[in-house]
A and B are shown apart, each in its own frame.
Chain A
């Protein structure tokens, strides 16, 4: 009987080898595929049962943390600054997933990216065991002060403010109104979160989606920065060409239509004069002189029709029509040269254009992340600034700075409202027709001109059409408030004391 018993034993071992093989397949080779299955709620439940890292502003203000609670889950996400940073932090909701920095830096906040270092000493082992919290914190480039100034300056008007450091691309403030309070969605009561979400989704202006980088608008006269830059880059002779003084530009191929100047003003002359007073008739003619190829190429060089590499989800592209689309439609080219017709830009893009001109022609990669720290507040990694686009030459940038200062400092400039005593400011207004009888007021600027530390893009939507350049009267004061707040110091430098237990105490180099 013994041979049969041995055979039976071998048979069982074969069966068990099958079990081991299948177990290895499931737990090692196929595990990540199973983890990623949409039906698998294990990962998200696990995320809810473990703390996420903090989100902290550049000055050390706590923007998001995980609070231990006694409910279905072990932690609840809390956003102490509420709606002020709502569109930056985004939300983290069991029912609706995540958005904003919570989404972009999910793997950092959960600790999925944190590395396990094999302890080399008993002390190290002890630390490793004590430090079971692998979650990492993210320190943002945004300043609470500038963000607050932006929110106050906009008030309850619908619009967006984007401020960035032109030399690094660091976003210093990005606020748009309406916004939302992410605490509404992180409620541990799913019924409550669902109700809040529904009312936010149906709220006017879609507060869940930041207008600053997800919505695009006709940029109006702020686009003249690109048209003027195209002149210097692609046809410098046009800079000194005298355009006739008139109240409007007769459009080609139309039966007597004209591209009118604002409030029927008469203007014209050379580029500097045309730019200073934001002369539509002259810029329409410049656009026609430049040609569709040149204008489209310049827009693309400055980032139109490309997604800015901002580290937030769903960043919108700004739009300039392809050159070929103007072949049969010269009037559209004239209108596009003044930022109307189908041209559309996000407030972020216009801030990036101003930033590029401030930074000698190079647009830096826009980013909200300054650095990552571990639970011991040691810096794990630091965001390295890099150039996104070499939009134009240093020479053109300098010439543009001259034009943009003229807007602010000439007696007839449209942007005089942004003047700040003791500091040279460059800027460009925009007053875009939206086709609904209202206008969008724009302002793009940077300062100080000699050594720019901040570039700002401001948009205030749906303002009643008036008889003034509203870019200069409505948007420019907001830009001024932002510049002043930054230039008065302390805007982005880390504050001395961080709130206990919640934020980093590491002083990191200014990016």
Chain B
């Protein structure tokens, strides 16, 4: 009996779900080929074999490296990756080939991460290295000679033939850094108030970190024009601070600082101004900064409830369709139903991540799992809300779905870390059960 309790069939579930994800992806790929050219895609068999092999390799790695980890994260990631691939292939064949290579690199990075990080808490040891590295990566595009301006934002660096978006990798490193520092200082941060008369105010000493993070976000914003990353880091920082301390005044302070930053950005940063203009009312700016958002809307509206069918829409009209606007393409071709499914898939991953956080035993693991899950959740919200014009548009990728190597590889590493934390908790629980049974 104890043996059954000790090793629940998590990996078998995972394999079953992977097969399901491959079938879904293969079906979608077939339909997209039929829809676009009226014939089966020529490479359907090798395509199915490749995605199946990649996911099964990741799965086998899991059997050895993290056998007790959660079984749904990897298949959902694989499914989202597959759906993204199908739509990228449907838009730009060349990008799809690259995305396939990046998927393979992502899976390799996933396995390497699991192999290197044997225990989640080990990460805490290198917190300052991670912190420095994260900050360094974020500032890297500013270094003359290797930074590159793309679409008005300075986000990329090029190393030889490869363009790389360092902010992507930085988000994980900084999440680890935030988690370990905040856990360490949680007590201080929690009680860092002073009573002045009848009011509790934050001790200036403890105000420093939040002001630092804010200033840093603003720096990225002004120097690199990267609205998306800037907001992601600040929101992540505030949310993690709240989780670590349970103090609402950090949320309040964060909101005030964010508002101040936003006003500043609106006044002084042309990039931000044009985005907000296009958000408030894109129609007068149809031929300029409103064009993309309006084309995205047209695509989404054209999709309706069930979509035009994979391969049967006209998403070529949307600028940046494979990256920032991949969600609009999905909404056009598989409709409200398909777009909702993609969002639910990401929500499931976020929920699973937060459940891992809830069940983790040590504060660091809890906070790190929360931070990693929040990255997925916030990033998805920021881009989808931007594309649907719920909030001003900021260029950021849809995790696992958008075209983009650095984003994909980073997300696989993030996934590996979440699974590592999940395994830690589950195997500890299993050992406990075993001990009790013995």
Residues of A within 8 A of B343 (CB): 16, 19-20, 23
Q: Mark B370-414, 1 if CB is under 8 A from A, else 0.
A: 100010011001001100111000000000000000000000000
CB <8 Å contact, B336 and A28: yes
Q: Mark A33-75, 1 if CB is under 8 A from B, else 0.
A: 0110101111101100100000000000000000000000000
Question: At the interface with chain B, which of A4-12, A161-169, A269-277?
Answer: A4-12
Within 8 A of A (CB), among B324-360: 331, 335-336, 339-340, 343, 347, 350-351, 354, 357-358
Residue A3 lies at the interface, judged by CB distance under 8 Å to chain B: yes
CB <8 Å contact, A19 and B388: yes
CB <8 Å contact, A26 and B301: yes
Question: At the interface with chain A, which of B24-32, B69-77, B240-248, B428-436?
Answer: B240-248
CB <8 Å contact, B388 and A4: no
B275 CB, nearest partner CB in chain A, Å: 17
CB <8 Å contact, A23 and B339: yes
Residue A15 lies at the interface, judged by CB distance under 8 Å to chain B: yes
A484 CB, nearest partner CB in chain B, Å: 50
CB <8 Å contact, A19 and B301: no
Residues of B within 8 A of A35 (CB): 298, 301-302
Instruction: Give Cα A28–Cα B388 distance, bound, in whole angstroms.
Output: 13
CB <8 Å contact, A8 and B242: yes
Instruction: Give Cα A23–Cα B370 distance, bound, in whole angstroms.
Output: 27
Residues of A within 8 A of B381 (CB): 12, 15-16, 19
CB <8 Å contact, B298 and A37: yes
CB <8 Å contact, B302 and A18: no
Residues of A within 8 A of B308 (CB): 46
Residues of B within 8 A of A436 (CB): none
Instruction: Give Cα A27–Cα B378 distance, bound, in whole angstroms.
Output: 23
Residue A30 lies at the interface, judged by CB distance under 8 Å to chain B: yes
Q: Which residue of A lies closest to B363 (CB)?
A: A1
| Given the contacts A19-B343, A19-B390, A22-B385, A5 and B370 also touching, CB distance less than 8 Å | yes
CB <8 Å contact, B374 and A8: yes
Q: Which of A2, A9, A34 has the most CB of B within 10 A?
A: A9
* Chain B interface, number of residues (Cβ within 8 angstroms): 44
Instruction: Give Cα A3–Cα B303 distance, bound, in whole angstroms.
Output: 39
Residue A192 lies at the interface, judged by CB distance under 8 Å to chain B: no
Instruction: Give Cα A34–Cα B301 distance, bound, in whole angstroms.
Output: 6
Residues of A within 8 A of B385 (CB): 15, 18-19, 22
Instruction: Give Cα A5–Cα B363 distance, bound, in whole angstroms.
Output: 11
| Given the contacts A5-B358, A18-B390, A42 and B384 also touching, CB distance less than 8 Å | no
CB <8 Å contact, A12 and B286: no
Instruction: Give Cα A37–Cα B300 distance, bound, in whole angstroms.
Output: 14
Instruction: Give Cα A3–Cα B305 distance, bound, in whole angstroms.
Output: 37
CB <8 Å contact, B351 and A9: yes
CB <8 Å contact, B286 and A27: no
A72 CB, nearest partner CB in chain B, Å: 11
Residue A31 lies at the interface, judged by CB distance under 8 Å to chain B: yes
Residues of A within 8 A of B388 (CB): 19, 22-23, 26
CB <8 Å contact, B243 and A8: yes
Residue B294 lies at the interface, judged by CB distance under 8 Å to chain A: yes
Instruction: Give Cα A4–Cα B308 distance, bound, in whole angstroms.
Output: 42
Residues of A within 8 A of B374 (CB): 8, 12
Residue B191 lies at the interface, judged by CB distance under 8 Å to chain A: no
Instruction: Give Cα A12–Cα B239 distance, bound, in whole angstroms.
Output: 11
| Given the contacts A19-B381, A30-B301, A34-B298, A39 and B336 also touching, CB distance less than 8 Å | no
Residues of B within 8 A of A28 (CB): 304-305, 336
Instruction: Give Cα A20–Cα B343 distance, bound, in whole angstroms.
Output: 9
Instruction: Give Cα A42–Cα B377 distance, bound, in whole angstroms.
Output: 32
| Given the contacts A5-B366, A27-B331, A42 and B243 also touching, CB distance less than 8 Å | no
B149 CB, nearest partner CB in chain A, Å: 29
CB <8 Å contact, B300 and A1: no
Number of A-B residue pairs, CB cutoff 8 Å, is 115
Q: Which residue of A lies closest to B346 (CB)?
A: A16
Within 8 A of A (CB), among B223-249: 239, 242-244, 246
CB <8 Å contact, B294 and A2: no
Residue A329 lies at the interface, judged by CB distance under 8 Å to chain B: no
| Given the contacts A15-B381, A23-B339, A9 and B354 also touching, CB distance less than 8 Å | yes
Residue A495 lies at the interface, judged by CB distance under 8 Å to chain B: no
Q: Which residue of A lies closest to B294 (CB)?
A: A39
Instruction: Give Cα A382–Cα B275 distance, bound, in whole angstroms.
Output: 53
CB <8 Å contact, B336 and A1: no
Residue A201 lies at the interface, judged by CB distance under 8 Å to chain B: no
Residue A508 lies at the interface, judged by CB distance under 8 Å to chain B: no
Residues of A within 8 A of B366 (CB): 1-2, 5
A94 CB, nearest partner CB in chain B, Å: 13
Instruction: Give Cα A40–Cα B299 distance, bound, in whole angstroms.
Output: 9
Residues of A within 8 A of B239 (CB): 8, 11
Residue A13 lies at the interface, judged by CB distance under 8 Å to chain B: yes
CB <8 Å contact, A42 and B314: yes
CB <8 Å contact, B351 and A42: no
CB <8 Å contact, A27 and B390: no
Residues of B within 8 A of A45 (CB): 314, 317
Instruction: Give Cα A126–Cα B347 distance, bound, in whole angstroms.
Output: 37
Instruction: Give Cα A31–Cα B336 distance, bound, in whole angstroms.
Output: 11
A6 CB, nearest partner CB in chain B, Å: 7
Residue B367 lies at the interface, judged by CB distance under 8 Å to chain A: yes
Residue B216 lies at the interface, judged by CB distance under 8 Å to chain A: no
Residue B102 lies at the interface, judged by CB distance under 8 Å to chain A: no
Residue B47 lies at the interface, judged by CB distance under 8 Å to chain A: no
CB <8 Å contact, A46 and B301: no
Instruction: Give Cα A37–Cα B244 distance, bound, in whole angstroms.
Output: 49
Q: Mark A262-291, 1 if CB is under 8 A from B, else 0.
A: 000000000000000000000000000000
Residue B297 lies at the interface, judged by CB distance under 8 Å to chain A: yes
CB <8 Å contact, A6 and B347: no
| Given the contacts A12-B377, A16-B381, A3 and B246 also touching, CB distance less than 8 Å | yes
Contact of A22 (CB < 8 Å), options: B246, B350, B354, B390: B390
Instruction: Give Cα A43–Cα B298 distance, bound, in whole angstroms.
Output: 10
Instruction: Give Cα A34–Cα B332 distance, bound, in whole angstroms.
Output: 13
A414 CB, nearest partner CB in chain B, Å: 61
Within 8 A of A (CB), among B269-297: 286, 294, 297
CB <8 Å contact, B357 and A39: no
Residues of A within 8 A of B297 (CB): 26, 34
Residues of A within 8 A of B363 (CB): 1
Instruction: Give Cα A34–Cα B286 distance, bound, in whole angstroms.
Output: 14
Residues of B within 8 A of A3 (CB): 246
Residue A24 lies at the interface, judged by CB distance under 8 Å to chain B: yes
Instruction: Give Cα A9–Cα B118 distance, bound, in whole angstroms.
Output: 27
CB <8 Å contact, B357 and A42: no
Contact of A27 (CB < 8 Å), options: B300, B314, B350: B300
Q: Which residue of B lies closest to A37 (CB)?
A: B298
B160 CB, nearest partner CB in chain A, Å: 38
CB <8 Å contact, B242 and A20: no
Q: Which residue of B lies closest to A38 (CB)?
A: B286
CB <8 Å contact, A12 and B350: yes
Instruction: Give Cα A32–Cα B378 distance, bound, in whole angstroms.
Output: 30
| Given the contacts A8-B239, A15-B381, A20 and B300 also touching, CB distance less than 8 Å | no
CB <8 Å contact, A42 and B298: yes
CB <8 Å contact, B354 and A20: no
CB <8 Å contact, B351 and A27: no
A residues bordering B, Cβ < 8 Å? 1-9, 11-13, 15-16, 18-20, 22-24, 26-28, 30-32, 34-35, 37, 39-43, 45-46, 49
Of the A-B pairs whose beta carbons lie under 8 Å apart in the complex, a sample of 27, sorted by A's number, is: A1-B366, A1-B367, A2-B366, A4-B242, A5-B357, A5-B358, A6-B358, A8-B243, A8-B354, A9-B350, A11-B239, A12-B378, A12-B381, A18-B390, A19-B343, A19-B381, A19-B390, A20-B343, A22-B388, A23-B300, A26-B331, A27-B300, A27-B304, A27-B305, A35-B298, A42-B298, A46-B314
12 extra interchain contacts, Cβ-Cβ under 8 A, other than A4-B246, A23-B388, A27-B303?
A1-B366, A3-B246, A5-B358, A8-B354, A9-B354, A12-B377, A22-B388, A28-B336, A30-B301, A37-B298, A42-B299, A42-B314
Which 9 pairs from chain A and chain B are nearest by CB?
Answer: A34-B301, A31-B301, A4-B243, A27-B336, A12-B377, A22-B388, A9-B354, A15-B381, A22-B390
